[in-house]
Amino acid sequence: MIFQSSLIPFSGLKIRLLRLFGARIGKGVRIKPSLNIKYPWKLEIGDYTWIGEGVWIDNLAKVTIGNNACLSQGAMLFTGNHNYKKNSFNLILGEITIENGAWIGAKSLVCPGVKANSHSMLTANSVATKELDEYTIYQGNPAVKIRERIINN
């Protein structure tokens, strides 16, 4: 109720509750309304990270988000999938790592086992099915490299 409600826009209360349930969260983190996290005890967020409205972290396995990262509105991180090659349709799990400075665009999907390396970027409505190289921008479904990410200070 607290995380999915837009009536409680304050990050502080959400962060305290996540920590109470085992999440490791750094300083200066901003969490917008309508966040959905399955297992807080499998979540680690670094300092000064921003998590937008409607983000869904379906963390059946560990999710690690670094410092100064951004998960834009409606981004989805899924650590589980099913093995379609078996009759039993077994659950397959893979940890997700979003490194420092990485940006996951609005309405994007990060699949199980994906690592978004330092300052990589997944553009809006894209699907990451494999590792994203550092300082590189990815787009599409499945996401492919489109150009280098140059950050001007």
User: pLDDT for 47-106, tens place per residue?
Assistant: 999 999 999 999 999 999 999 999 999 999 999 999 999 999 999 999 999 999 999 999
Burial of 85 (0-12, 13-18, 19+ CB in 10 A): exposed
60, 41 in Cβ contact below 8 A?
A: no
Structure confidence at residue 12 (pLDDT): 85
CATH code for the domain defined by 11-131: 2.160.10.10
Q: What does the alpha-carbon distance between residue 87 and residue 47 come to, in Å, rounded to a whole number?
A: 43
pTM of the model as a whole: 0.92
Q: What are phi and psi of 17, to 5 degrees?
A: -65, -40
Give the pLDDT confidence score for residue 13 in this predicted structure.
86
95 in Cβ contact with 113 (< 8 Å):
yes
Positive or negative, the CA dihedral 86, 78, 45, 147 is: positive
Res 140: pLDDT: 98
| Sign of the alpha-carbon dihedral angle for 4, 102, 80, 76 | positive
Could you tell me which residue, 117 or 4, shows the higher pLDDT?
117
pLDDT in tens, 22-45: 999 999 999 998 999 999 999 999
Residue 3 in contact with residue 39, Cβ under 8 Å?
Answer: no
